[in-house]
Structure 1
Amino acid sequence: MIPNAAGPRTFATASLRAKRSQTFKAFYATIRGLRQLSSEPEDPLISENDFFLSILRANPSLRDTRSYLASFGLRPQNGSVLAPTNASVPAPSTSQLPKQTIPPLEHLKPSPILASILNPVTRRTALVKVQGPFTDVQLDSITRGLVYLEKLGLVSVIVVENDELPLGEQDERAAIIEETMRVVTSLEKHGSRARPVVGAVVRLGPKPEEAEGALGDYAPPPESHTVSSDLIPIRSALRAGEIPVVSPFALDSFCRSIRINANDVIAGLTRGMVEAAAEDQSKRAGERSDASDDVDLTPLRLMIINREGGVPSYARAGYPHLLINLVSEYSHIHETFHQPWLHSNPTALDNLSLARTCLAYMPPTSSAIMVSHRSPSSLIANLITNKPVVSSSLPHALLQGNRKLTPNTPTLLRHGLPIQVIRDVSDIDRTKLNALLEQSFNKKLDQGSFYERLEKTLDYVILAGDYAGAAIVTKEDCPGLDTPISYLDKFAVLPSHQGDGTVDFLWVALHDESYGLGLPFSANPNGGKGGKGEGQELVWRSRADNPVNKWYFERSSGHLRMGSWVLFWCDAERRLEIEKGRRGSSGLSYIEEWEDGRLGKWADVVFKIPGSWRK
């Protein structure tokens, strides 16, 4: 967070008053449709180049691109909407081509992946909280990113907030409208069309017909609600191709427009827009309509842009959480939130609560992102890949040394799935586990021999949700070793949950129950040992041609190729830390005494384990 040189409130008030005439000019210009507000328009070449580079830096995989196209569609030359093909499309790269074969720049054709991303059909909405105050330079960076998102088919519904203007402050209404107009002016400077919405779009209190505890124990209901007519200004702006910029006002029980917390506006809007979209869909059922004629009101993303960034994590020395499973981690994050963070990240927990409430109404594929104004390009990467900047399941030491991990690294939040640990075979729902394994591996399970083996060797099963994913770990006796091998027998995620964070949620829980056990940051609420105990090496095997091996290489301590198989392992992290402390500055040797000969012993045991599939 950047401190202000003078008193923050004085600085903010003075800045707002100084811009009053300018911003109200922008207001009237917007209403009249005059779009050229800046005397020095931005260089379009610089803007477009920056836009393309932001997409390329996202480095979308083929799966990411297919997921993006599933939401936004693909417009070919004839204008009809096509689904993505199953053809393998290479990532855009010229590094693999001989230099003499690279054509001149003006003749280069965009890669199919890039071309499809740049040509969306269906326009979707994102709810965006612009949590200022921001300087003109900061706001310029933010709005440029939002304009880029609009080009990719994601239209922002922006709600403005000013942290340095407390509720009930004198002249707060005028000051908030000033902030709203600054955002409008900045958006239009970058070539977008924006419309200020300074009337109330939500009403205080829950819906009259809403039953108490509509979300159960998961989250409290929003403090505001909407009726159909409240969304007319937003719907009108979207249909006109404009970005609505909303001031945080609400109607109270006396029909007075009053300023409320922007979080309450966003929570009420989320539910209202989801319900309105469902009504629109039911009205259009059976009718032929062009998807490009209207904007889908269902929010696809929640974006919180502020000065403090994401939610600090005790496991990352105060650096932000990378990915949060709200169902299983929400309470734990509150319990481990350190006191100093209340000053450095004063709104982190409030924004965490906002994300939990909003994602309860949004589609399962939706996500929320908390990002600093210093990382606006992260919004494009999140839109295309729907993943965190760095995977949360990478080894802790690698994450700590990763140059991408900074105090400004965004936090991605998902509704998520509950995580539980089962230690008895009798507690397994065999029908659901069979379906999970067979769909994940695309093979038929030899159920008799598989469960007969588990009866003798099962250590535990980690489940994500209702058998959406599972990690099965067994104890294998190993001659010459004091303790049995912790063997990862199966790691499976349903195809429908691949790419939605379930894989990372499951692996983090596996880390905390096996090789990460005993370290403070392994005390996550996964229903297992809670971080108490001694970690043990985790061993598994994979066929050499398994496409998942790249993912395993990044997460394992080492691997050994053995013919058509690869042996992977993760070293017990606590044991390594103890050994480092004992040796001090001398460091670890290439092979410790307890490591001598272990690979051969592991291989003798692991490669004798019978297969689980029917031949």
Structure 2
Amino acid sequence: MIPNPSPRVAAALRAQRSHTFKAFYATIRGAKPRPHEPIEDGPPADNDFILSILRTNPSLRDARSYLASFGLRPQSPPVQSKDAKIPNVVPSVEDTVQVNKAITPVEEPKPSPVIASILNPVYRRTALVKIQGPFTENQLDSICRGLVYLEKLGLVSVIVVENEDRSPGQEDERSAIIDETMRVVTNLEKQGSRARPIVGAVVRLGPKPDDTSEPGFEPPETHTIPSDLIPIRSALNAGEIPVIAPFALDSFCRSVRVDANDVIAGLTRGMVEVASSESPQREVPDGDLKFSGEVDLTPLRLMIIDRNGGVPSYARSGYPHLLINLTSEYEHIHDTFTDQWAQLNPSALSNLELARVCLHYMPSTSSAIMVSHKSPSSLIGNLITNKPAVSSSLPHALLQGNRSLTPHTPTLLRRGLPVQVLRSLGDIDRAKMTTLLEQSFKRTLDQEAFYSRLSKVLDYVIVAGDYAGAAIVTNEPSSSGGEPISYLDKFAVLPNHQGDGTVDFLWVALHDESYGLGHPFSANPNGGKGGKGEGRDLVWRSRADNPVNKWYFERSTGHMRMGPWVLFWCDAEKRLKIEEGRRGSAGLSYIEQWEEGRLSDWGKVVLKVPSSWK
């Protein structure tokens, strides 16, 4: 029995008694692994395209984001000419007819929105794709089928072909790489698309003449001028997928074989610059819908398709990273990359560098994906949701037992944001923190009371970027006089950063500083404890009607409803691991000795935390 529980806590415990506390631990201890996704080397089903879309299971936010990128664009209404003026004389009937004919604008027939949307349903965007073979015919069929499906959804691929078996310097390398390019073209057309081989050089060797080096970033080894992109634009405007051989012009204007990464990096920068220079002419005010065959040259995605898939992760025993924050994790991934992984996936680090360079020039909402030829439908999932195949912020107990995680699971990469841990109230920029909290929660912060409370109980604050997101953790005094309770006071992300990976980056950093502390996979470079120390249970509350609760349910160890609130918690993973090892095959019970009475303690403390809002 719990000694002297408060009436609200006692009522909540009585309501849950029939469940014998099993529901609290359903998230991890009773979790069922997700079904294994099919490997797609075989022939497709007749409804494969529809099934590929349905497997993505997009949320309402995902659907809105997709439509924002690929939906129809507005077009300004026709403007009447102001030059035609009515003469200052009394006209005859015949003259009136003539004048009216002169000043009446000729309205061109407009297509019906329904008919036009059927003929051209989406606003087309581009993706840069590296096909890194060699592949068998079946494997290439699977890859090209996925790219054709993307084209149907509005994402047109600009493909650069690479063949690892034909390294630069071989005698027949030029003819071999042209043959490989033609193989891809032939296969795309076999899948029902139209493709155009481009075997002339589209990039130039050497840095751009006006390049200025940035600290910590090296510009591409190649560059383009606008006229170099004419073959690509011609193919795109003709409704064809350009398939490019990896050649470049040297200083003597000779076409030479180069690494496909250099071609893609130079193309990324060139396409972004050309598109941005044209955007003012292409912007139009609100008006009628625009049904145009024009293709936006700004790359929306970078896709790297090879035989190995994503970047091996120290946190998943060599299985691929799910989501990479390049700004904060790039150096750490290099430092933890083992020789064994270099043998199994020799191009992982070079592809990681390619993604870093390309995303430096691409819009902040863009992403890169490394995917194996065995799961091309994951490209459709990435296009519609712009999320990893499995969320990286899910509990490790779920990720480690999830059969959908394989050596071929894709890695999603984003430019990301720096992540830092602040342990003093004086280090917090109060103005930016206040703006973040008020925009995220859409409420007015009681600043004096909020920061006065933090001065007494603050443990640490994790900040993403320039206050694009933050997690505030406090030490709340225990009602039983024991160790302070680690309480997640605020978890906030700016609205314009929700859906760009910031939420997952922030939660992973929170995991590494709290309940995940003490494990090797928590040694991420977030400026905190580097994985060293003892993990603590993390507790927080949320309104019962909060739409974010579904996300919390998936990431918590358990929860308990307490009137208008839901109490969530995450168990310290290191303690659970030690206990499981001590018990061996017996496994954990639903209520351990060290867990008795903690729900009552948490409930008493958490429900008394004062509101931060006016």
TM-score by length of 1: 0.84
Contact 1:122 1:295 in 2 (8 A): yes
Q: Indicate the residue corresponding to 1:442 in structure 2.
A: 442
Q: Which of the residues 61, 68, 92 maps onto 1:70?
A: 68
Q: Indicate the residue corresponding to 2:129 in structure 1.
A: 128
Q: Indicate the residue corresponding to 2:543 in structure 1.
A: 543
| One-letter identity of the residue aligned with 2:67 | L
Alignment of 1:308-457 (within 5 A): 308-457=308-457
Q: Indicate the residue corresponding to 1:253 in structure 2.
A: 251
RMSD of the alignment, in Å? 1.9
Alpha-carbon separation, structure 2, partners of 1:555 and 1:117: 42
| One-letter identity of the residue aligned with 2:380 | I
Alpha-carbon separation, structure 2, partners of 1:410 and 1:234: 28
Contact 1:69 1:117 in 2 (8 A): no
Q: Indicate the residue corresponding to 1:567 in structure 2.
A: 567
Contact 2:72 2:290 in 1 (8 A): no
Alpha-carbon separation, structure 2, partners of 1:193 and 1:48: 20
| One-letter identity of the residue aligned with 1:504 | D
State the 1:118 CA deviation: 11
Contact 1:68 1:117 in 2 (8 A): no
Alignment of 1:71-470 (within 5 A): 71-74=69-72, 120-211=121-212, 213=213, 215-217=214-216, 219-284=217-282, 290=290, 292-470=292-470
SS at 2:292's partner residue?
A: helix
Alpha-carbon separation, structure 1, partners of 2:160 and 2:595: 57
Contact 2:515 2:537 in 1 (8 A): yes
Q: Indicate the residue corresponding to 1:496 in structure 2.
A: 496
Percentage of matched positions with identical amino acids:
75
Q: Indicate the residue corresponding to 1:102 in structure 2.
A: none
Give the count of matched residue pairs.
Answer: 530
What is the CA deviation profile of residues 187-213 of structure 1, one whole-angstrom value per residue up to 9, with x for unaligned ones? Answer: 0001100000000000001011212x1
Contact 2:198 2:244 in 1 (8 A): yes
Gaps of 5+ in 2: 1-42, 77-116
Contact 1:123 1:292 in 2 (8 A): no
Contact 1:157 1:243 in 2 (8 A): yes
State the 1:317 CA deviation: 0.8
Alpha-carbon separation, structure 2, partners of 1:481 and 1:254: 79
State the 1:46 CA deviation: 6.9
| One-letter identity of the residue aligned with 1:224 | T
Q: Indicate the residue corresponding to 2:99 in structure 1.
A: none
SS at 2:270's partner residue?
A: helix
State the 1:119 CA deviation: 7.0
Alpha-carbon separation, structure 2, partners of 1:47 and 1:339: 40
Contact 2:422 2:428 in 1 (8 A): yes
Query: Does residue 49 of structure 1 match 2:47?
Result: yes
What is the CA deviation profile of residues 435-483 of structure 1, one whole-angstrom value per residue up to 9, with x for unaligned ones? Answer: 1101111111111110010000000000000000000000011032531
| One-letter identity of the residue aligned with 1:63 | R
| One-letter identity of the residue aligned with 1:132 | G
* Higher relative contact order structure (alpha carbons within 8 Å, sequence separation ≥ 6): 2
Contact 2:479 2:604 in 1 (8 A): no
Alpha-carbon separation, structure 1, partners of 2:407 and 2:118: 30
Alpha-carbon separation, structure 2, partners of 1:601 and 1:293: 63
Alpha-carbon separation, structure 2, partners of 1:372 and 1:481: 54
Contact 1:226 1:269 in 2 (8 A): yes
Alpha-carbon separation, structure 1, partners of 2:293 and 2:318: 46
What is the CA deviation profile of residues 225-245 of structure 1, one whole-angstrom value per residue up to 9, with x for unaligned ones? Answer: 001111010010001000000
Change (3 A) 1:139 1:118: farther
Alpha-carbon separation, structure 1, partners of 2:378 and 2:528: 34
Alpha-carbon separation, structure 2, partners of 1:70 and 1:49: 26
State the 1:169 CA deviation: 0.5
| One-letter identity of the residue aligned with 1:137 | N
Gaps of 5+ in 1: 1-44, 82-115
TM-score by length of 2: 0.84
SS at 2:339's partner residue?
A: coil
Q: Bigger CA drift: 513-522 or 45-54?
A: 45-54
Alignment of 1:507-522 (within 5 A): 507-522=507-522
Change (3 A) 1:123 1:286: closer
Alpha-carbon separation, structure 2, partners of 1:192 and 1:64: 27
What is the CA deviation profile of residues 307-326 of structure 1, one whole-angstrom value per residue up to 9, with x for unaligned ones? Answer: 00000001001110000000
Alpha-carbon separation, structure 2, partners of 1:338 and 1:127: 29
